[in-house]
Amino acid sequence: MRVKAFEECLNYVYTYAMKATIQKWGNSLGVRIPSIMAKDLMLENGSEVELIEETDKIIIQPNRRARLGDLLQAINESNIHEEIEFKSPCGNEAW
């Protein structure tokens, strides 16, 4: 019984339901994301999000694609690999 309760606790997903007002922003429309949601989703000014239109709703979700700059900054002495040698060109490659 205790294990079951623990599993249910691990599977618990919280959601927020808040109302927002659509406002004109230049020639477009915008919606403000409440700060508690932005903090929980690690969104900040300039963060990219994906907008998905589904039947009768709009889904806004963080764009979590890796950025080249972030990937390059993560390279260090412990995770860098040696240079890789390739064989000689065997077709119409231009070297």
Per residue in 32-86, pLDDT (tens digit) is 999 988 998 889 999 989 999 999 999 999 987 777 888 888 899 998 888 888 7
Residue 9 lies in a domain: yes
The answer to whether residue 39 sits within a structural domain is yes
Question: What is the bridge-based pairing of β-strands 23-25 and 28-30?
Answer: antiparallel
pLDDT of residue 10: 53
pLDDT beyond 60 at 5: no
Q: Which two tokens stand for residue 54?
A: 């589904």
Between residues 25 and 10, the one the model is more confident about: 25
For residue 68, give both structure tokens: 């080249």
Confidence of residue 11 (pLDDT cuts 50, 70, 90): low
Domain coverage including residue 8: 2-73
Record the pTM. 0.50
Collapsing DSSP states into helix, strand and coil, what is residue 7? helix
Q: Is residue 21 part of a domain?
A: yes
Q: How many domains does the chain have?
A: 1
Q: What letter does residue 40 receive in the DSSP assignment?
A: H
- The two counts, helices (H) then strands (E), for the chain are 3, 4
